[in-house]
Structure 1
Amino acid sequence: MDFLPLFHNLQGQDVLLVGGGSIALRKARLLLASSAKLTVVAPCINEELKALLTKHQCHYIQAHYHESHIANSLLIVAATNDLLVNQHISNDARLRRIPVNVVDNPTLSTVIFPAIIDRSPIIVAVSSGGKSPVLARLLRAKLETLLPSGYAKLAKLAEKFRDKVKQHFSNTEQRRIFWEKVLQGSISEQVLAGRESQAEKELQQLLDNTQDQPPKGEVYLVGAGPGDPDLLTFRALRLMQQADVVLYDRLVAPEIIDLCRRDADRIYVGKKRNNHTLPQDDINLLLVNLAKQGKRVVRLKGGDPFIFGRGGEEIETLADHNIAFQVVPGITAASGCAAYAGIPLTHRDYAQSVRFVTGHLKDNSIDLPWQELVAKGQTVVFYMGLIGLPTICQQLIQHGQAPDTPMALIEQGTTQSQRVFTSTLANMPETLANKTIQAPTLIIVGEVVKLRDKLAWFN
């Protein structure tokens, strides 16, 4: 982050604004909306700004800026069109360690003004770090449509019941779970519909009927997709945002992990071939133990949990221990990576069926039903086949697949690091011989690979 977002309480605090034009007017309105004690310094100011200062009984100093004007300011805003003056203000503020904003000049600023969605007491701020204020305003406009004005009433209802809920529940985790139920259910809908009294009544009833008992744990097996965070489902994101603990492996992109609740515990349980941070059985039991502690646990899995993700093994263990669980499907690597590589897995002219197989089995062998994989009009997708690629090519050819059958290897598919290598069964090992390939990878074999040159759109 270029700037750390913070919310400042300026109520009754001295703030200095230097400038008297239209830009200074906009900043003055914003600062006065936060109940700041505003002083404006400028040789002259426009009539609208003068009227605003008079209305709010603000102090106006008709003069050129001087460092003595800083006095006890908690914040300084430079809104002049003179670069030298702005630099002078910035230097003076930095020497005194006072936050300073130079309008439209993030280099001279130690703080910046975001685009704001005001649903007081709910405030949402969007910033581009000063690099594109117009983009920040466009994003604010989008968010405005997602945040009804009723959210202000919802926040006030929560404030009204805050002390009651705190007295009712003995720990913060129980309180958080209660509030999530309130704010994501029918009570919040009543508020947004303008029925505050009914919402208040339901909230009190819910509080009276909720026992102060340890929360029950639950596990969410969430498919994180092949890498691009935009491919997450809404449900996946919602559960990621409310989990207490997140277990993830090396197939889950860092950008996706960052979308989890910020204060959630994060446990890496990654596995590489012949190098497991935690054996699968230990992961299964860890999920059980965390849930028995009352935790809500997200098990993030690359792709889809039920397609070569060992999700079935994990929920078997959960079921054996009577642990509640949910499974959230994800876009599997075959679908996501093929689409981003411009390779349709089926096509009326080339392939009428598709088969997913794993590149290595439980005992690390590649003992597959090769004869079944050699069929006309079929696309075969190999997961985790990088190490065994020479054997895959050799076995398919030996069992009757034409040596010139098109083949693709997709490295880190759907991410900005995606690379796609195309060749034939006979030549692919040589094509990759001098390449450094980083997992995860996906291998596609079939005539549909021919379409990549025409249909590729991602890279």
Structure 2
Amino acid sequence: MIPLYHDFTGQTVLVFGGGPVGARKARRFAVEARVVVVSPEFDEGSDWETDETAAGEIAPVRARPTPDDVGAWIERSDPALVVAATDDDAVNDAVAAAARERDLLVNRADSSSVESDDTASARVRDAVVPATVADGDVRVAISTDGRSPALAKYLRERIESEVEGAEAMAELTGELRAELRASNLDPSARRDAIRAVVRDPLVWKALRTGASNPRREATRVIRNTTGGDRWTWE
């Protein structure tokens, strides 16, 4: 599979299944999308509320769809993505089949144990929700193609500390890139300067701890890299 990011803003995600897995999927997609969850019961131990920063919402619908009903639910919701997260294999099979018939993305909670008869065509539309480490808009996604969730979790925990401060670094280097483009430096020198900033441990320390001024540290790096005195702290 080829990893891609998908913007679900203003779109609908349809989740079949109201257990812990369905709740987790719903909260994940509600960060951007409106999520409709269809289930005869909803896990009382799960949090069905969206975070106040979420752009979407979760709409639980209490119903027990049969395999024959799945297509009608999809037509009614007009989703961009369909999630099969029930404890009924027949319903999950029907959800995956109905989504693929309509060329919709489909995510199966039990995809590691299910093989399609037409793997080549099905995989194009299958969506894996990977373990994710995020700091603001900077995200790292980890997937083992469903083979080892334990490994994905372990790698996520290892990467979390490395990503701390990445959002602030992205903001800082974005500003510096714009300023460098307005200078008389050639493109190669500008790229080298930004790469040097990103690799400098003192810039990272300043961003993470506030022990010094990040922009001042970045200015130092750029001046050392370009050999110029244009970049002074203001």
TM-score (norm 1): 0.41
Does structure 1 residue 89 correspond to structure 2 residue 104?
A: no
Name the amino acid aligned to 1:64: R
Contact 1:148/1:192 (<8 A) preserved: no
Q: 1:112 aligns with which of 122, 128, 133?
A: 128
1:184-223 deviations in Å (ceiling 9; x for gaps) = 1232332233247x111343465578479xxxxxxxxxxx
Contact 2:48/2:58 (<8 A) preserved: no
Paired with 2:51 and 2:140, the residues of 1 have a C-alpha distance of 30
Q: In structure 2, what is the equivalent of residue 292 of structure 1?
A: none
Q: In structure 1, what is the equivalent of residue 120 of structure 2?
A: none
Contact 2:39/2:63 (<8 A) preserved: yes
Paired with 1:161 and 1:95, the residues of 2 have a C-alpha distance of 48
SS class of match (1:58): strand
Paired with 1:104 and 1:171, the residues of 2 have a C-alpha distance of 52
Q: In structure 2, what is the equivalent of residue 161 of structure 1?
A: 176
Q: Which has the higher contact order (CA 8 A, sep 6+)?
A: 2
Residue 7 of structure 1 deviates from its aligned partner by 1.7
Q: 2:137 aligns with which of 83, 106, 121?
A: 121
Residue 182 of structure 1 deviates from its aligned partner by 0.5
Q: 1:67 aligns with which of 68, 71, 82?
A: 71
Q: 1:137 aligns with which of 153, 164, 170?
A: 153
Q: In structure 1, what is the equivalent of residue 232 of structure 2?
A: none
Q: In structure 1, what is the equivalent of residue 17 of structure 2?
A: 19
Residue 174 of structure 1 deviates from its aligned partner by 3.6
SS class of match (2:29): helix
Which has the higher Rg, Structure 1 or Structure 2?
A: 1
Name the amino acid aligned to 1:43: P
Contact 2:34/2:57 (<8 A) preserved: no
SS class of match (1:161): helix
SS class of match (1:144): helix
- Uncovered stretches (5+) of structure 2, i.e. residues with no partner: 117-122, 229-234
The CA RMSD over aligned residues, in Å, is 2.9
Considering fraction of residues, name the structure with more strand.
Answer: 1
Residue 130 of structure 1 deviates from its aligned partner by 0.8
Paired with 2:8 and 2:108, the residues of 1 have a C-alpha distance of 18
Paired with 2:148 and 2:221, the residues of 1 have a C-alpha distance of 46
1:334-382 deviations in Å (ceiling 9; x for gaps) = xxxxxxxxxxxxxxxxxxxxxxxxxxxxxxxxxxxxxxxxxxxxxxxxx
Contact 1:150/1:194 (<8 A) preserved: no
SS class of match (2:10): coil
Residue 79 of structure 1 deviates from its aligned partner by 0.8
Compared CA separation, residues 160 and 104, structure 1 to 2 (3 A): farther
Aligned residue runs from structure 1 range 193-204, under 5 A:
193-195=209-211, 198-204=213-219
Does structure 1 residue 182 correspond to structure 2 residue 197?
A: yes
Contact 2:82/2:107 (<8 A) preserved: yes
SS class of match (1:155): helix
1:394-424 deviations in Å (ceiling 9; x for gaps) = xxxxxxxxxxxxxxxxxxxxxxxxxxxxxxx
Paired with 1:172 and 1:13, the residues of 2 have a C-alpha distance of 39
Aligned residue runs from structure 1 range 292-331, under 5 A:
none
Q: In structure 1, what is the equivalent of residue 32 of structure 2?
A: 35
Residue 82 of structure 1 deviates from its aligned partner by 0.8
SS class of match (2:60): strand
Compared CA separation, residues 53 and 46, structure 1 to 2 (3 A): farther
Paired with 2:138 and 2:184, the residues of 1 have a C-alpha distance of 24
Paired with 1:50 and 1:126, the residues of 2 have a C-alpha distance of 24
Paired with 2:185 and 2:64, the residues of 1 have a C-alpha distance of 58
Q: Which range moves more in the overlay, 200-209 or 64-73?
A: 200-209
Does structure 1 residue 192 correspond to structure 2 residue 177?
A: no
Paired with 2:50 and 2:166, the residues of 1 have a C-alpha distance of 31
Name the amino acid aligned to 1:139: L
Name the amino acid aligned to 2:133: I
Residue 100 of structure 1 deviates from its aligned partner by 0.7
Residue 141 of structure 1 deviates from its aligned partner by 2.1
Residue 112 of structure 1 deviates from its aligned partner by 0.9
Name the amino acid aligned to 1:123: R
TM-score (norm 2): 0.75
SS class of match (1:139): helix
Q: In structure 2, what is the equivalent of residue 271 of structure 1?
A: none
Q: Percent identity, please.
A: 29
Paired with 1:163 and 1:81, the residues of 2 have a C-alpha distance of 52
Paired with 1:128 and 1:48, the residues of 2 have a C-alpha distance of 28
Paired with 1:169 and 1:103, the residues of 2 have a C-alpha distance of 53
Paired with 1:194 and 1:93, the residues of 2 have a C-alpha distance of 49
Contact 2:193/2:221 (<8 A) preserved: no
